[in-house]
Chain A
């Protein structure tokens, strides 16, 4: 039944086709001789969008064959040593030692319209005992609370009316009080500094206890930089700074009495609620006056620093930074080198996510122990150039200059001219780095401090074992 229906349907449609073609043939004879469709051929390279894009990519790559020589004139990926002694003839630092032991140092630049003048004192939180804990910082605050001649308000108003800055800071081994003023106000700034340092009015017994801590006349330096003349400063200081403490103990004696002893140890504070793990690995370093301190600065530049905002990214010069950037094992990493009077610290501090802390520890210890074995001259040259430029770039303005003078006079006893400093840096080559690394890193105890989600940070013996290699 259904089949019959299908058959009739097919028959009807066939008849319909035949009649329709007959009709077509009868009405339009010209259509029968239509031209055959053209043979298919490959499309031209501009037909499809991906071919057009491929052509543009190829033409851009062809442009790379002949680079513009203007861009290559001053760039070279190979580090080169350049002699800078011609431009390092900075104004000379003049130092005068007064009869009461006070040293006055100035770097005079009379074309500047401002000056920084300050007092650098060789005292800090390192020399505090149990009873005097916190004194240095406390004193730094109290000293701005008024003197015999000026109340706190008078002090503030005088400084503000001059348009100057009066500031202080304390660190482990140094205390500083300095003022930044216009050139014509330098005598008044010196007067204010002398006043607050010698005539501060707070409780009498506090004065005796705390002045003994900080105002030791032998190790004080008055440094000034900018629009100052050396002779004028010396004259004024002689007149103003007369009531300094006569306590002959120097910082060196205090240090000799209680030297700082480095102990291999670790402190870990596991806290899973923190999102990032932070840890620092430190070796016993060099003191300020150690001849190897410059080599340690170069080694710090060789290890370098890295963070996710660094423009260099995966392409930085330091191999540790490359490992960290390419494998993405840290949020940020920096090598530090701190110097104190009798000792120092040299190491690496890093912040990382908890899952890559162990890879980061491996990379850090690999690079640190590599310094004792495989050091390339190009790497040392790059580190030297980076150290020199970072030292000079930091000295911008009268305040950094004054701080540099004060710090160097307290730590080295003299201001090292930049030409000599650069010569000392250039004396560090690959063999020096290996020798210094053998002294400070090879098979030496480390101190580790860590906090955060540090479960996967390896234990102390793991780090201690990786301070040397057995492969050589």
Chain B
């Protein structure tokens, strides 16, 4: 219990200066390319992320893809987003975390019941 409260304090930006600095630097870097933190989750890395993205509404996934395309375009041109647009970014507004947690909970429950998994990675 003590360990869990210490670990909660460590990562909380409101309590820990180092966590605050980390969040600020992450926020700056994401702002420069116009990305959100949830855009960094890769559906090809984990099939749970793919399933969670499949369950989200189409507009959210479309906005995510547009942000990723804009960031790829900026990176290709070695540019950053214009300053006024950078001020309007919301890098920590989340849309994926809860759905991902739900998908992982369901998979754990299915495995605990002894059923076969619904999807499996095949090594390419």
Contact = CB atoms under 8 A, between A and B. Distances in A.
Interface string A47-59: 0111101100110
B84 A50 contact: no
Contact of B95 (A57, A64, A322, A323): A57
A326 B90 contact: no
A106 to B, nearest CB: 46
A326 B119 CA distance: 8
Contacts of B59: 49-50, 53
A40 B84 contact: yes
Residue among A42, A45, A54 with max Cβ neighbours from chain B (10 Å): A54
Contacts of A45: 93
A126 interface: no
A58 B118 CA distance: 24
Given A48-B63, A61-B99, A314 B118 contact: yes
B84 A322 contact: no
Contacts of B21: none
B124 interface: no
B116 interface: yes
Contacts of A315: 115
Given A54-B95, A57-B99, A61-B98, A42 B88 contact: yes
B102 A64 contact: yes
A315 B102 CA distance: 18
B10 interface: no
Interface residues of A, number: 27
Contacts of B63: 48, 50
Contacts of A64: 102
Contact of B102 (A40, A48, A61, A314): A61
B116 A77 contact: no
Number of contact residues on B: which range applies? 20 to 34
A322 B99 CA distance: 25
Contacts of B47: none
Contacts of B95: 50-51, 54, 57-58
B81 to A, nearest CB: 12
Interface in B62-103: 62-63, 84-85, 87-90, 93-95, 98-99, 102
Contacts of A77: 113
B90 A40 contact: no
Given A49-B59, A57-B99, A61-B102, A40 B85 contact: yes
Interface string A299-332: 0000000000000001100010011001000000
B88 A323 contact: no
B116 A40 contact: no
Interface in A47-87: 48-51, 53-54, 57-58, 61-62, 64, 77-78
B108 interface: no
A40 B85 CA distance: 7
B88 A51 contact: no
Nearest to A50: B63
A58 B102 CA distance: 11
A3 interface: no
Nearest to B85: A40
A41 B93 CA distance: 14
A39 B83 CA distance: 11
Contacts of A41: 87-88
Contacts of A319: 115-116
A419 interface: no
B56 interface: yes
A58 B95 CA distance: 8
A19 interface: no
A50 B118 contact: no
Contacts of B57: 50, 53, 57
Contacts of B89: 42
A56 B59 CA distance: 13
Contacts of A378: 114
Given A61-B98, A64-B102, A378-B114, A42 B60 contact: no
A27 B102 CA distance: 66
A62 B102 CA distance: 10
A275 interface: no
Contacts of B113: 77-78
Nearest to A56: B57
Nearest to A322: B116
A39 B56 contact: no
Contacts of B115: 315, 319, 322
A242 B106 CA distance: 69
A64 B113 CA distance: 20
A376 interface: yes
Contact of B90 (A43, A78, A323, A376): A43
B56 A57 contact: yes
Which 3 pairs show the lowest CB-CB distances between chains A and B?
A: A54-B95, A50-B63, A40-B87
15 contacts: A40-B84, A41-B88, A42-B87, A42-B88, A50-B62, A50-B95, A51-B93, A53-B57, A54-B60, A57-B95, A57-B98, A62-B98, A315-B115, A319-B115, A322-B115
Given A57-B99, A58-B98, 18 more contacts: A42-B87, A42-B89, A43-B88, A43-B90, A45-B93, A48-B63, A50-B57, A50-B59, A50-B60, A53-B57, A53-B60, A54-B56, A57-B98, A58-B95, A61-B102, A64-B102, A319-B116, A376-B114
